[in-house]
Structure 1
Amino acid sequence: MNHLDKLEARSIHLIREAYSEFKNLCMLWSIGKDSTVLLWLARKAFYGHVPFPLVHIDTGFKIPEMIEYRDKLAKEYKLDMIYGQNREALKKKHTFPDGKVTRIQCCKNLKTEALKNTLSGVWPRYRLNHNTGEYEVDKNKEPYIGVIVGARSDEEGSRSKERYFSPRDRNNDWDVGDQPPEFWNQYKTDFAPGTHVRVHPLLDWTELNIWEYIKRENIPTVSLYYNQGDGKRYRSLGCYPCTKPIDSDARTVDEIVEELKTGKLANIAERSGRAQDKEDGGLETLRRDGYM
């Protein structure tokens, strides 16, 4: 087995372990490269079928191509596709683009709060009806106990502190200093009632591994990751008011792999285009409160 084979095998094992241990399980799909690789691995783990819902938190400010891509793949792969949204904040314009709150507070409103209340079933969930092709209010309001996430430890400092099976309390809060030990591939999956557990099958993957795997498996990704002729491309995807592209001539997966191998981006953080990360507290503050 080569390195990618080993990463793939461990990730598939973790996905299957989560499926066997948690009754109400879902997978977060942000439409980005990491969570799309995670979706690919889940399909491999269950021979083309994903036996749990895919959950997307729609902030209302995603780049339109991302939503189009989500629905295209959901229909093609016959996914149990669900999205959640903080419709109240959007209605009252409690967002950064509307000038009423900071970027961090906007993320809390549209991502953290929407995620918490979608996972718990307190707010409405919207499920894709494959017969009509439209989203409808989901009648199932049971909370998700296990949540599979495409976080990588090398992507950002706070994510390097995660475990494969990482507990959150009733409020989705993450206690960084109280994580279970994981030795010799032994994982704690039995937690107190009210706990929900984030599962991280991609924790050991690097950005280069992700792109090498996308190349090997020929995984479809949004065109935003590639230079379209203006010398720029997105390295990390998010909301369009707070996410900026980087300077890059890479037009294909091969060229992105080469770009990463040569070290051209070695001194540029992967999430350098995410403006909210630069505000006070940044991503770790958001993640302690329950963000992805």
Structure 2
Amino acid sequence: MDHLDKLEAKSVHILREAYAAFGNLCMLWSIGKDSTVLLWLARKAFYGHVPFPLVHVDTHYKIPEMIEYRDRLAKEYGLYMIYGENKEALEAGETFPEGKVSHMECCKRLKTEALTHTLNGTWPRYRLNLQTGEYEQDTDTAAYTGVIVGARSDEEGSRSKERYFSPRDKYNDWNLDDQPPEFWNQFKTDFAPGTHVRIHPLLDWTELNIWEYIERENIPTVSLYYNQGDGTRYRSLGCAPCTKPIKSESRNPREIIEELKTGALSNIAERSGREQDKEDGGLETLRRNGYM
């Protein structure tokens, strides 16, 4: 087994452990490269079938191609595709693009609050009807007790503090000082009732590993990651008004792999184009309160 084979095997093992341990499981799919690799691994773990819902928090400010890609893959793979939203904040225009709140406050409302209420079932969930291609309100409102997330420890400082099985309280708040030890691939999956658990099968993967795996497996990804002729590409995807591309000539996974290996991006944070990370507290503050 080479290094990618070992990473794949461990991630598949964690996915199967999660499915065995948690009765109401879901996976978050942000449509980015990491969570799409995670989706690919889930299909491998369960022989082409994903036996739990895929959940996307729709801020309605995503780049249109991302949503088109989400629905195209959901139909092709036959996924139980769910999205949630903060309808009240959107209708009131309480967003950064409307000029009423900061980046951080906008993320808190459209992502953190929407995610929390989507996961616990207190706000409507919308499920893709694979026959009609339309989204309809889901009748299942049961809370998800286990949530699979495509976080990597090398992507951002707060994510390096995670465990493979990371507990949150019933409000999705994250206590960094109360994380279970994980030694020798022994994982704690037995938690007190009411505990919300995040599962991180990609924790050991690096950005380079992700692109090497995408190339090896020929995984379909959003074309925004590649230079389309203007000398720029997105390294990390988020909401259109708050995410900027980087200068890069890379047009495919192989060229991105070579670019990463040169070290040209080694001193530039992977999420440097994400504006919310630059405000006080940054991503760690959002994540303590339930963000991905």
Q: Normalized against structure 1, the TM-score is what? A: 1.00
Deviation for aligned residue 1:148: 0.2
Matches within 5 A, 1:1-292: 1-292=1-292
Q: Structure 2 counterpart of 1:72, which letter? A: R
Segments of 5+ residues of structure 1 without an aligned counterpart are: none
Deviations 1:197-237 (A, max 9, x none): 00000000000000000000000001000000000000000
Secondary structure at the aligned position of 2:135 is classed as strand
Deviation for aligned residue 1:110: 0.2
Deviation for aligned residue 1:104: 0.2
Deviations 1:88-114 (A, max 9, x none): 000000100001111000000000000
Q: Structure 1 counterpart of 2:118, which letter? A: T
Deviation for aligned residue 1:271: 0.2
Structure 1 CA distance, aligned partners of 2:252 and 2:34?
Answer: 17
Deviation for aligned residue 1:254: 0.6
Q: Normalized against structure 2, the TM-score is what? A: 1.00
Secondary structure at the aligned position of 2:47 is classed as coil
Q: Structure 1 counterpart of 2:120, which letter? A: S
Secondary structure at the aligned position of 1:241 is classed as helix
Secondary structure at the aligned position of 1:118 is classed as helix
Deviation for aligned residue 1:131: 1.3
Deviations 1:102-146 (A, max 9, x none): 100000000000000000000000001111111000000000000
Deviation for aligned residue 1:191: 0.9
Q: Structure 1 counterpart of 2:58, which letter? A: D
Deviation for aligned residue 1:192: 1.1
Secondary structure at the aligned position of 2:286 is classed as helix
Secondary structure at the aligned position of 2:27 is classed as strand
Secondary structure at the aligned position of 1:115 is classed as helix
Q: Structure 2 counterpart of 1:108, which letter? A: K
Q: Structure 1 counterpart of 2:127, which letter? A: R
Q: Structure 1 counterpart of 2:47, which letter? A: Y
Runs of 4+ in 1 over 3 A off after TM superposition: none
Deviations 1:36-68 (A, max 9, x none): 000000000011000000000000100000000
Structure 2 CA distance, aligned partners of 1:57 and 1:84?
Answer: 5
Structure 2 CA distance, aligned partners of 1:223 and 1:175?
Answer: 37
Structure 2 CA distance, aligned partners of 1:150 and 1:90?
Answer: 26
RMSD: 0.4
Q: Structure 1 counterpart of 2:77, which letter? A: Y
Q: Structure 2 counterpart of 1:44, which letter? A: K
Q: Structure 1 counterpart of 2:56, which letter? A: H
Structure 2 CA distance, aligned partners of 1:131 and 1:247?
Answer: 41
Secondary structure at the aligned position of 1:107 is classed as helix
Structure 1 CA distance, aligned partners of 2:269 and 2:133?
Answer: 38
Q: Structure 1 counterpart of 2:159, which letter? A: R
Percent of paired sites with the same residue: 79
Structure 2 CA distance, aligned partners of 1:189 and 1:252?
Answer: 38
Q: Structure 1 counterpart of 2:270, which letter? A: E
Deviation for aligned residue 1:184: 1.1
Q: Structure 1 counterpart of 2:187, which letter? A: Y
Deviation for aligned residue 1:9: 0.1
Q: Structure 1 counterpart of 2:203, which letter? A: L
Structure 2 CA distance, aligned partners of 1:258 and 1:209?
Answer: 12
Structure 2 CA distance, aligned partners of 1:240 and 1:134?
Answer: 23
Q: Structure 1 counterpart of 2:133, which letter? A: G
Structure 2 CA distance, aligned partners of 1:88 and 1:265?
Answer: 39
Secondary structure at the aligned position of 2:88 is classed as helix
Structure 2 CA distance, aligned partners of 1:274 and 1:98?
Answer: 18
Structure 2 CA distance, aligned partners of 1:9 and 1:23?
Answer: 23
Q: Structure 2 counterpart of 1:118, which letter? A: T
